[in-house]
Each structure stands twice: as C-alpha cells, then as structure tokens.
Amino acid sequence: MELVKFIISFILHIDEHLVEIISLFDHWTYIVLFLIVFIETGVVIFPFLPGDSLLFASGTFASMGSLSLSILILTFISAAILGDAVNYYIGQKVGKSVIEKNRFSRMINREKMIVAEGFFNRHGGKTIIIARFMPFIRTFVPFVAGASGMNYRLFTFYNIVGAVLWVLICTLAGYLFGNLRFVEENFSVVILIIIFLSILPAIFSFFKNR
C-alpha cells in the first residue's frame, strides 16, 4: 500500500521529486532518468512507472537550465528504443510459454495470440507508434509483438520512429510550456490532464469493442 502511495505521489508531484533527484545525483541524473524510462518500456511488469509526465517535467527543468535539453532527448530516445527492444526479446522468448501454461488467460491466450500475430502483420507499425503515447499499453505492446512473432526489422523501424516522436513531443511540450504561469501553479493538474489524454484512446477502444 505504501508503495502504491509513493508511486502516485511520484507521478503527481514529479516536479518536486525531480528537484530531489537533480540535487542528489547532479550529472548522474541522466542515468536515473534513463533507467526509469528503460524499465517502464522494457520490463512488462513495471508499466506503472512515469512516462509522459516524466518527459514533460524533465523538459520543463531543461527550460530552466537545470538539465541539458539535447542530452535529455538523447537519453530518453535511447532508453525508449532499448526498452522496447528488450521487451520484444522477452516476449519472443517467454511469451508463448506463458500462453501454453495458461497464465493470465483472461488477458491473453492462444487464440488471442493468433489474432495478435495477424494484427501486427497488418498494422504493427501503427500499433507500436500509437502505443508509445498510452501508459501501460506501451509496456505491453512490444511484449505481445515479440510473442506473436512480428518481423523484428519492421518492429525496430517503428520502435525507433515511435520513440523519437514520443520523446520529442512530450519533452519539447514541457520545454515550451512548462514555465507558463498557469502550468507552474497547477502542475499536478496538468500532469493529470496529460495522463487522461494518454489513456483516452484506450478508453475509447474499450467501449468501442464492448
């Protein structure tokens, strides 16, 4: 329970926690940020770590001179690309065995894997790019892509495109708008809006399928 409270606090008050991270780690802050994004995108059991909010907040701190924008962007892009690549590899190695042992059968089973494989063959690129902007889903999609046997070269291409777009849009949004008075005074509200907008496509898709 305490862990859940900490995670929620970390996400909603990411600006305050970033101040602590920067003051504590100084130039090593980029390594910490790299690890957060890498784990959030690369380890399927950690989808709850901050993504969009972290990029936005980091961009805001870059506009204040606390972080280098260019180093920040390179750090996030490399972490996002490597994270998805590792997640794909994990899905490729253990995804089908998870299905065969009927683990998480309500979430994913053999029939769904067959459907997923066909879906990725037809729409894999669009799926991977869109998923970058959707919390939780962006952690799960590369795992399913690997488990369903999506062509790795195709996956890699869209992995890179999606990572670049995600990092540039979210980080530059923070860099350009993070210092606005309204954003500074209502940072937690802005973070909630970002999270809501990120999960909106998933909500729409859920009700559409229902």
**Could you report the per-residue pLDDT of 112-128, keeping only the tens digit for each?**
555 555 556 666 678 88
Q: Which residues contact 19 (CB under 8 A, 6 or more apart)?
A: none
Cα(187)–Cα(14) distance, integer angstroms: 9
Q: Is residue 91 part of a domain?
A: yes
Query: Is residue 44 one of the residues assigned to a domain?
Result: no
Answer yes or no: is 58 within a domain.
Answer: yes
Please state, in angstroms and as integers, the Cα–Cα distance from residue 188 to each residue in 144, 181, 193, following that order.
32, 13, 9
Give 128-165 pLDDT, tens digit per residue.
Answer: 888 888 877 788 888 888 887 788 898 999 999 999 99
Full domain range(s) for residue 160: 2-39+49-209
Tens digits of residue pLDDT in 42-96: 887 766 677 788 898 899 889 888 899 999 999 999 999 999 999 999 888 886 6
Q: Is residue 79 part of a domain?
A: yes
Is residue 57 a part of any domain in this protein? yes
| Structural domain includes residue 176 | yes
152 located within any domain: yes
Position with higher pLDDT, 64 vs 3: 64
> Would residue 10 count as lying in a domain?
yes
Domain total in the chain = 1
